[in-house]
Structure 1
Amino acid sequence: MSSGGRADWYLSRTGPDDEPADRGPGLAAYDTPRRWRLRLTPHDDPYLLDHLVAGEPTLPGTFMLEIAAEATRRVIPGSVPTGFRDAEFTTFVRPPTARAHTEFTVHATQIVPHRVHVTLERRLLPRGDATRARHHTCFRTDVLIGTPGPPPTPHPPATDGAPVTDPYYRPDSPVLLRGVFHNTRDGRVTATHRTARWTPDLARADWLSHFTVPSLLLCATLRTAALPPGPHGEQTLYVPRHLGHIDLFTPGLGDTALTAHHGDGITLHGTADGEFRADAPDGTVLLEIRDARLAALGTV
């Protein structure tokens, strides 16, 4: 179960697959690895059809942080993530296709009292040829729990900059976002800064009420990196590869709760130095991302 009595969205489907892995000699009790089989299909997760990378349904990287939070709660019941460290996204996570059967496994180990290491691994089996199975680590991160640190000093609202549009909404985009992911407007850029307003429509996204990580808001915040146009007006599309520091200053509040609190008044900020944040209407920082490395996937 998640905090507030809500069932986890992803790991609630695992059933009896939730078992401790073998514990080696010399490991303390809190070092016992745990693992779960993750089921991911467009039937269970129809939003995947609105998040397309190269035309294929793909799990957003920031949604893997919710999976990590759920695994952490299974290891430490009642825990609420306050941040993530060294999140690495190495392989796109996509549901099984007619060409290959895919199995996903989540692994979690409490490494110190307030830190849990989580990985998401994939086993790819070409249809009709189990001898060619391939294994990949798709994602890893350390989940922080406990009392969050104080948020940074509130920022005054940004009102300057040239207006721009979000390139992820263009039909020719290599990363095409629709539906619940079409959630920003009023983009503006300066030589050093870029901003947008977060305006999600969650009327048909009841599933997001299970999330205790604001995965949708994190995704939109990172997308401010794509707002600045190049010398010929082109915009570059990015996906995350490494997020060194993610701090959540409203622990346990996912996208549904933050939208209920702030409506469409949340402002997204990004800099050319790989730092991002989302601010409440009064300037209070809700989340912050530092040490971000993004991979370019093309231009529009």
Structure 2
Amino acid sequence: MNGFEPHLGDATVSQGVWRFERSLDVHSDPYLLDHVVEGLPVFPAAYLVGLMTQAAHRVMPQLQVRGVRNVRFVQAARFKDNRSLQFAVTAQQLETEPGWISVGISSRMAPPRAGFPPILKTHASGEVLMGAPGDSTARFQPLHFSGAADYAELYALPKEIQHGPAFLAGVHYRRPARDQLLAVVAPPGRPQRQWQPAPDAPGWPATLLNAILHVGFSLGVLSRERTVLPLELESADLHAVPRGEVQVFARLKAAREGRQVFHVASWDTQGRPVGVFRGFSVQEVP
């Protein structure tokens, strides 16, 4: 484990349902201080997906994470006044579809005053596909980013969100068209760090998920010059975790009534696919 990645809590199993639970706050998980929205640390949406893949991998450790689908981001997990959240991740195999695991993430917070009930919230749900490792052949043409703009410009947008070192994965970017964004990202804290915190770490790295999806998020902000919030991820194919830089291409697929839908593809420096994300939807903040 490192200070950039979330991790699951202790596991209990009852009637085929795995439950991982632990206390979460800015001291136990300092990366939260690097993702501040309107003055409050917020658990990143991509990190919720990372926890889903960790849970599925713990349920079926003999297999590898191959994809996700039907991911819904319901409520943000905000941290106020150093109070902790009791995070719970539940996972259960789908009986009708071998290899698919349904995962839900919720939290419980102590009430602000005695005599009141605890505050319960549902943060996300989705399904994770586990399968045998697959060979990844080069499918993409690696791009040259010499002379491209500094990605730090995108981290400054929108102004309501402040990013710290745990999120500074972007290196360079280009915008070849209004509805497209190209970028190269690298492990935060480069070059001494890698995406995978440890060789035997479960799941798919949350930092890598965040770096790739942030390109789509940034295109959403650039397209309308408004703050956006993630809503859902229709599906994603997840391949082997690369060791270094990743190139990302985000394209706007649809826009209607403040909602934008993106297709985001990523590949390593040899052109081998890393992650292909379909139906990544965001909504403009009123």
Instruction: Verify the 8 A CA contact 1:19 1:35 in the aligned structure 2.
Output: yes
**Contact kept in structure 2, 1:168 and 1:175, CA below 8 Å:** no
Return the offset for 1:153.
6.8
The aligned counterpart of 1:249 is 239
Which SS does the other structure have where 2:231 is aligned?
Answer: strand
2:213 to 202, 218, 222: 222
Per mean C-alpha deviation after superposition, the further-off stretch among 176-185 and 194-203 is 194-203
- Counterpart in the other structure of 1:269: 249
1:50 Cα offset (Å): 0.9
Q: Which structure 2 residue ranges, 5 or more long, are not aligned?
A: 254-261
Of 83, 104, 111 in structure 1, the residue corresponding to residue 87 of structure 2 is 104
Please identify, of 285-294 and 74-83, the stretch whose mean Cα deviation from structure 2 is larger.
74-83
> Is the counterpart of residue 47 in structure 1 residue 36 in structure 2?
no
Q: CA 1:230–1:128 in 2, change beyond 3 Å: closer, same or farther?
A: closer
Selected match of 1:195 from 151, 165, 182: 182
Choose which of 142, 163, 170 in structure 1 pairs with 2:156: 170
* Structure label with greater radius of gyration: 1
**Counterpart amino acid of residue 220 in structure 1:** A
CA contact (8 A) 1:241 1:295 kept: yes
* Residue equivalent to 2:12: 19
Matched, 1:208 2:197: yes
Shift of 1:294: 1.4
Distance (whole Å) between structure 1 residues aligned to residue 85 and residue 279 of structure 2: 31
Change (3 A) 1:271 1:117: same
How many residues were matched structurally? 266
SS in 1 for 2:57: helix
Instruction: Give 1 or 2: higher helix fraction.
Output: 1
Gaps of 5+ in 1: 3-7, 24-31
Task: Indicate which of 109, 123, 126 corresponds to 2:108.
Answer: 123
> Contact 1:121–1:139 (CA<8 Å) still a contact in 2?
yes
Q: Give the whole-Å Cα distance in 2 for the aligned partners of 1:127 and 1:228.
A: 36
Partners of 1:282 and 1:204 in 2: how far apart? Answer: 20
Q: Name the CA distance, whole Å, in 2 between partners of 1:150 and 1:172.
A: 39
- Structure 2: distance between partners of 1:207 and 1:284: 17
TM-score between both structures, scaled by the size of structure 2: 0.78
Contact 2:249 2:266 in 1 (8 A): yes
- SS of 1:59's equivalent? coil
Secondary structure of the residue aligned to 2:236 is strand
| Equivalent runs, 1:25-174 vs 2, <5 Å | 32-95=16-79, 97=81, 102-112=85-95, 113-147=98-132, 154-158=139-143, 163=149, 165-170=151-156, 173-174=159-160
User: How much is the aligned-residue C-alpha RMSD, in angstroms?
Assistant: 3.3
Using the TM superposition, name which of 109-118 and 69-78 deviates more: 69-78
Counterpart-to-counterpart distance in 1, 2:270 and 2:194: 26
Q: Secondary structure at the match of 1:132?
A: coil
Return the match for 1:280 from 246, 260, 268. Answer: 268
Rate the CA distance shift 1:204–1:95 in 2: closer, same or farther, 3 A.
farther
Partner Cα distance (2:90, 2:276) in 1:
26
Q: Shift of residue 129 of structure 1?
A: 3.2
**In structure 2, what residue type is equivalent to 1:106?**
V
Shift of 1:131: 2.7
* Aligned sequence identity (%): 23
| Per-residue deviation, 1:172 | 7.0
Q: Out of 167, 173, 179, which is 1:181 matched to?
A: 167
* Paired amino acid for 2:267: D
Secondary structure class of the residue paired with 1:139: strand
Question: Residue type of the partner of 2:25?
Answer: T
Partner AA of 2:37 in structure 1: V
- How far residue 242 of structure 1 moved from its aligned partner, in angstroms, is 0.4
Contact 1:84/1:245 (<8 A) preserved:
yes
Alignment correspondent of 1:27 = none
CA contact (8 A) 2:64 2:132 kept: no
